[in-house]
Structure 1
Amino acid sequence: MAEIIAFGASPDVDAMDRPALEAYLAEIRRRIAALDEREPEDMSSEAYDEWSEEHEQLEDIADDILDRLEE
């Protein structure tokens, strides 16, 4: 069974096996989808800036996981 990793933790994707990577990617994708549902309407607001930064961080994590899975 895959370990669920709390947001804020920085797991070492290089040390994860394939099932753990796939589970982590699924969790990151769920978080991105949930974040998308809370996208602020005002693109010039501080809330949007914070939302955008979190979204980008999650996308970067997903990209790192995908790169690792392709190795």
Structure 2
Amino acid sequence: MKVEDYLVERFGLLMSISDLADLLGRSPDGIRVSLYSDTEVSRKLKPTMVKVGRRVYFRTLQVKDALCLESSEYGA
């Protein structure tokens, strides 16, 4: 299974802030704080943001690219 397939299967095409926090091992509040400060991570993740009404989501496949997760196959 590829990383893209795993992430889409686990989170869907859009990730919430809590999903992103889960993936990165941080709290949702920590993600919010880091997104609204000017850091390398926030500059990579901001282009992946999508607002749906008042909610903020992140495009899962773009998050994978922004975090430079390898797309090679893994597993046994």
**TM-score for both structures, normalised by structure 2:** 0.27
**TM-score for both structures, normalised by structure 1:** 0.28
Q: Which structure has the highest helix share of the two?
A: 1
| Higher RCO (Cα < 8 Å, 6 or more apart) | 2
